[in-house]
Amino acid sequence: GLALFRTDGTPAGTTLLANELVGYGSRIDRFLGEIVIAESVLWITDAKEPTGARLLLDGDSVSLYVAPELAPLGTTLVFLVWDEAHGGEIWTSDGTAEGTALLVDAVPGPGSLFRGVSIDRYAEYHDAELVGADTFAVLAGATPAAGEELWVTDGTALGTGLLRDIYPGDYPSTPRQFTRLGNRIVFSAEDEAHGLELWVTDGTYPGTTLLKDVAPGLASSVPDDLVVRDGVLYFSAWSPSYGREAWKSDGTAAGTVRISDVAPGPLSSSPQRFARAGNRLYFSATDQVRGYELWAISDDGTIPLFLDGFENESTSRWSGAIP
For the CA atoms of 265, 271, 274, 277, the dihedral, rounded to the nearest 10 degrees, stands at: -50
pTM, rounded to two decimals? 0.86
Calculate mean pLDDT across residues 8-17.
89
288 pLDDT above the threshold of 60: yes
Structural domain spans, the chain: 223-323
12 pLDDT above the threshold of 80: yes
CA triple 10-11-15, angle to 5 deg: 100
Whole-Å CA distances, 29 to 45, 79, 93, 276: 11, 11, 13, 24
Q: What's the pLDDT at 23? A: 63
The helix/strand/coil state of 205 is coil
What are 122-148's pLDDT values in tens digits?
444 446 789 999 999 999 999 999 999
Q: What's the pLDDT at 179? A: 96
38 pLDDT above the threshold of 60: yes
% of the chain at pLDDT higher than 90: 53
CB distance 185 to 131 below 8 Å: yes
The residue that leads in pLDDT, 82 or 115, is 82
CB distance 296 to 303 below 8 Å: yes
Q: How far is CA 111 from the centre of its chain?
A: 24
Q: How far apart (Å, rounded) are the C-alpha atoms in residues 165 and 146?
A: 7
Calculate mean pLDDT across residues 204-212.
98
Q: What's the pLDDT at 303? A: 66
105 pLDDT above the threshold of 60: yes
Q: How far apart (Å, rounded) are the C-alpha atoms in residues 75 and 93?
A: 9
CB distance 172 to 166 below 8 Å: no
Model confidence at 295, in pLDDT bands (50, 70, 90)?
A: confident
The residue that leads in pLDDT, 149 or 310, is 149
The overall average pLDDT reported for the chain is: 86
Burial of 56 (0-12, 13-18, 19+ CB in 10 A): buried
Model confidence at 57, in pLDDT bands (50, 70, 90)?
A: confident
Calculate mean pLDDT across residues 237-246.
96
The DSSP-derived string for 78-122 is EEEEEETTTEEEEEEESSSSTT-EEEE-SS-TT--SSS-B-SSTT
User: How many C-beta atoms surround the C-beta of residue 159 within 10 A?
Assistant: 15
Q: How far is CA 23 from the centre of its chain?
A: 20
User: How many C-beta atoms surround the C-beta of residue 141 within 10 A?
Assistant: 28
Calculate mean pLDDT across residues 307-314.
55
Calculate mean pLDDT across residues 247-258.
96
| Contacting residues for 10 by C-beta, under 8 A, at least 6 apart | none
24 pLDDT above the threshold of 90: no
Q: Which of 59-63, 112-116, 172-176, 222-226 shows the lowest mean pLDDT across its residues?
A: 59-63
CB distance 176 to 190 below 8 Å: no
Calculate mean pLDDT across residues 187-196.
97
Calculate mean pLDDT across residues 273-300.
83
The helix/strand/coil state of 242 is coil
Closest residue by Cα to residue 255 from 321, 173, 186: 186
Query: First vs last Cα of the chain: how many Å apart?
Result: 30
Instruction: Output DSSP code: residue 41.
Output: S
The residue that leads in pLDDT, 295 or 214, is 214
